[in-house]
Amino acid sequence: MIIRTHHFELSVQTFGKPDFPPLLLLHGFLGGGIDWLEIAQNLASTYFVIAPDIPGHGSTRPLQKSPTPHTTYSIEVVSATILELLNALKCERTFLCGYSMGGRLALYLALCYPTRFKAACILSATAGLQTESEQKARVLHDEEIAQKLESMPLSGFLEFWYHQQVFASFRQHPNFAKATANRMNTDPKEAAASLRGMGTGAQTPVWDILSTNRLPMSFVAGERDTKFVALAQEMHVNTPFSSLTIIPNAGHVLHYEAGSAVISLLQKVFA
């Protein structure tokens, strides 16, 4: 379905009955709601699963070309867009799960709009960069990536992107070819706008408000993803009412590499 919001025509897939407890799933960079298909189908007998294409991704499109894409695609505006979606679907309080970029977005939503959510599960994500120098360096890095997106053939960019070390175990997974094939409907200019607007460098970090959390919060990482294991551990230590799960024999892309484990975890966390 298409949900019209203030800034975007949001493409959304839903699974299960609307009177079931709602569960919002937020995908990672270059992904789409379709990334959650197996997980959503398995949870549709219990939850009303909502899997949008986050602005900049999939079939979601802006209502008009923005003169300030850094603002329109910021985590603040995208969060407001997600709340518009939940309002349109009449979801007052929602279970929340996000992966990587979607995990950063989910964490921001849970901390800044806690009355709208029942519990949150944050997969392979971070609370942002902790120093100004790190943020400035990452903004420059993200700009280089955005320019590659806009200038390279999409197939070549995807090959470049998924040869990063963080995706090493994902590249060996049987689902890798299928997952990356789904990326071929990416609009490079839209994805670049998302990276400039809500990339890790552009995002306002939320480390200093982790201590305000009052929701049941689960931080999750794959044991092979050592960088994000450390980040999950640090966020857990600084976040009240949180738990930590390290999934064995998995890397960064948990919903593909360890789908069954993620399904079991969500059923436990959101019971």
Q: Are 21 and 95 spatial neighbours (Cβ–Cβ below 8 Å)?
A: yes
In sequence order, what are the beta bridge partners of 52?
Answer: 12
- In this predicted structure, what is the pLDDT of residue 220? 98
DSSP 29: T
> Which residues does residue 9 pair with via DSSP β-bridges, in sequence order?
4, 61
- Calculate what percentage of the chain has a pLDDT beyond 70: 98
Point out the least confidently predicted range of 47-56, 66-75, 102-111.
66-75
From residue 55, alpha-carbon distances to 62, 103, 140 in Å are 8, 15, 21
Is a pLDDT exceeding 90 seen at residue 238? yes
Identify the band that residue 175 occupies on the pLDDT scale cut at 50, 70 and 90.
Answer: confident
Domains of the chain listed by start with CATH number: 2-269 (3.40.50.1820)
Look at residue 151 in the predicted model and tell me its pLDDT.
Answer: 96
For residues 49 and 17, what is the distance between their CA atoms, to the nearest angstrom? 8
Q: Provide the pLDDT confidence category of residue 250 given band limits of 50, 70 and 90.
A: very high
Q: What is the pLDDT of residue 73?
A: 94
Once rounded to an integer, what is the mean pLDDT over residues 32-52? 97
Q: Is the pLDDT of residue 70 over 80?
A: no
CA distances from 261 to 47, 80, 118, 245, 256 (A): 17, 31, 21, 10, 10
pLDDT at 179: 85
Torsion over CA: 259, 262, 266, 267 (sign): positive
- Cα–Cα distance list, 17 to 40, 49, 97, 157 (Å): 12, 8, 19, 38
Count of residues for the chain? Answer: 271
For the chain, how many helices (H) and strands (E)? 12, 9
Check if the beta carbon of residue 128 is closer than 8 Å to that of residue 205: yes
pLDDT score, position 68: 65
Q: What is the CA radius of gyration of the chain?
A: 17
Q: How far apart are CA 74 and CA 1, in angstroms?
A: 23
Q: How far apart are the first and last CA of the chain?
A: 27
pLDDT at residue 67, as a whole number: 63
Is residue 164 classed as helix, strand or coil in its secondary structure? coil
Q: What's the rounded mean pLDDT across residues 19-28? A: 97
Look up residue 95 and give its amino acid. F
Residue type, 192: A
pLDDT in tens, 112-168: 999 999 999 999 999 999 899 999 999 999 999 999 999 999 999 999 999 999 999
On average, the pLDDT of the chain sits at 95
Q: What integer pLDDT is reported at residue 69 of this predicted model?
A: 63
- pTM metric for this prediction: 0.96
**Would you state the structure tokens that stand for residue 123, as one six-digit string?**
């997969």
Whether 224 has a pLDDT exceeding 90, the answer reads yes
Q: What percent of the chain has pLDDT over 90?
A: 91
For residue 174, give every residue at least 6 positions away whose Cβ sits within 8 Å of its Cβ, in sequence order, or none.
none
For residue 181, is pLDDT > 90?
no
pLDDT score recorded for residue 178 = 84
